[in-house]
Chains A and B, each alone.
Chain A
Amino acid sequence: MRNYDLVVIGAGPAGMAAATTAASQGLNVALIDEQRQAGGQIYRNIGTPVLSDERVLGPDYYYGRELARKFSEANVDYLSNATVWEVSDSHLCLSIDGESRRIGFTRVLIATGAQERPVPFPGWTTPGVMTCGAAQIMLKTSGLAPNGPLVIAGSGPLLLLVACQLSRAGIEIAALLDTTPKHNYRAALKHLPGALRGWRYLLKGTRLIAELRRKGVKPLNGVSQLNAVTDEDGNLTGVCFRHNGTEQTVACSSLLVHQGVVPNVQLTRSLGAEHSWDELQQCWRPTLDTFGETSVPNVYVAGDNAGIGGALVAELQGQLTATRIAMQAGQLNAEAFAHMSRALQTQIEQQLAIRPFLDQLYTPAPEFLRPADETVVCRCEEVTAGEIRNLAKTGCAGPNQAKAFCRAGMGPCQGRLCGLTVSQLMAEASDRPVPEVGYYNVRSPIKPVTLAEVAGVHPASESLQADS
Chain B
Amino acid sequence: MPTDSNFKRLPANAAAEVVIWVEGKPLKARAGESVAAAVLAAGLGPTRTTPVSASPRAPYCMMGVCFECLMEIDGQENTQGCMTTVAEGMQVQFQRGIRNVPEVEDNA
Flag the segment in A131-139, A174-182, A321-329, A332-340 that touches B.
A131-139
CB contact list, B1-24 vs A, under 8 A? 5-13, 15
CA distance A36 to B30 in the complex (A): 14
A144: B residues at CB distance < 8 A: 7-10, 37, 40-41
Q: Does B53 contact A (CB under 8 A)?
A: yes
CB pair A448–B12 under 8 Å, yes or no, is no
B30: A residues at CB distance < 8 A: 50, 142-143
CB pair B61–A127 under 8 Å, yes or no, is no
CA distance A34 to B66 in the complex (A): 16
Q: Does B93 contact A (CB under 8 A)?
A: no
Flag the segment in A219-227, A240-248, A308-316, A374-382 that touches B.
A374-382
B55: A residues at CB distance < 8 A: 125, 234, 382
A139: B residues at CB distance < 8 A: 10
A56: B residues at CB distance < 8 A: 10
B47: A residues at CB distance < 8 A: 127
CB pair A379–B66 under 8 Å, yes or no, is yes
Q: Does A395 contact B (CB under 8 A)?
A: no
CA distance A277 to B56 in the complex (A): 34
A380: B residues at CB distance < 8 A: 50, 67
CB pair B50–A416 under 8 Å, yes or no, is no
Q: Does A98 contact B (CB under 8 A)?
A: yes
> Which of B40, B61, B63, B82 has the most chain A CB within a 10 Å cutoff?
B63
Known: A379-B68, A382-B50, A417-B65. A49 touches B13 (CB 8 A): yes
Q: Does B76 contact A (CB under 8 A)?
A: yes
CA distance A141 to B12 in the complex (A): 10
Known: A129-B60, A134-B59, A141-B33. A115 touches B65 (CB 8 A): yes
CB pair A254–B6 under 8 Å, yes or no, is yes
Known: A128-B58, A146-B7, A381-B52. A137 touches B63 (CB 8 A): yes
| Chain A residue, CB-CB nearest to B14 | A52
CB pair B56–A127 under 8 Å, yes or no, is yes
Q: Does A60 contact B (CB under 8 A)?
A: no
B58: A residues at CB distance < 8 A: 127-128, 130
| Chain A residue, CB-CB nearest to B84 | A81
CA distance A56 to B10 in the complex (A): 10
A448: B residues at CB distance < 8 A: 78
User: What is the distance, in angstroms, from A412's C-beta to the closest C-beta of chain B?
Assistant: 4
Per-position 1/0 for A136-165, Cβ under 8 A of B: 011101111111100000000000000000
Q: Does A28 contact B (CB under 8 A)?
A: no
CA distance A134 to B37 in the complex (A): 10
Q: Does A344 contact B (CB under 8 A)?
A: no
B78: A residues at CB distance < 8 A: 412, 448
Per-position 1/0 for A35-77, Cβ under 8 A of B: 0100001000100111111001000000000000000000000
Q: Does A463 contact B (CB under 8 A)?
A: no
Query: Which listed residue, A125, A128, A141, touches B37 by the CB 8 Å rule?
Result: A141
CB pair B62–A133 under 8 Å, yes or no, is yes
CB pair B8–A134 under 8 Å, yes or no, is no
Known: A144-B40, A382-B50. A50 touches B12 (CB 8 A): yes
CB pair B6–A134 under 8 Å, yes or no, is no
A83: B residues at CB distance < 8 A: 83
SS class, residues of chain A in contact with chain B: loop
CB pair B34–A141 under 8 Å, yes or no, is yes
CA distance A49 to B50 in the complex (A): 35
User: What is the distance, in angstroms, from B90's C-beta to the closest C-beta of chain A?
Assistant: 13
Known: A141-B33, A147-B7. A51 touches B13 (CB 8 A): yes
Query: Which listed residue, B8, B63, B67, B76, touches A147 by the CB 8 Å rule?
Result: B8
Q: Does A397 contact B (CB under 8 A)?
A: no
B66: A residues at CB distance < 8 A: 379, 413, 416-417
> Which of A45, A130, A143, A379 has the most chain B CB within a 10 Å cutoff?
A143
A429: B residues at CB distance < 8 A: none
Q: Does A430 contact B (CB under 8 A)?
A: no
B83: A residues at CB distance < 8 A: 34, 83
Q: Does A253 contact B (CB under 8 A)?
A: yes
CA distance A239 to B10 in the complex (A): 26
CA distance A147 to B5 in the complex (A): 7
Query: Which listed residue, B10, B67, B82, touches A411 by the CB 8 Å rule?
Result: B67
B61: A residues at CB distance < 8 A: 115-116, 130-131, 133-134
Query: What are some 20 contacts across the A-B interface (CB < 8 A)?
Result: A34-B64, A45-B32, A51-B13, A52-B11, A130-B62, A133-B63, A134-B62, A137-B82, A141-B34, A142-B41, A144-B7, A144-B41, A145-B10, A147-B5, A234-B56, A379-B60, A381-B52, A416-B65, A417-B66, A447-B64
Interface residues of B (CB under 8 A from A): 5-13, 15, 30, 32-34, 37-38, 40-41, 45-47, 50, 52-53, 55-68, 70, 76, 78, 82-83, 85
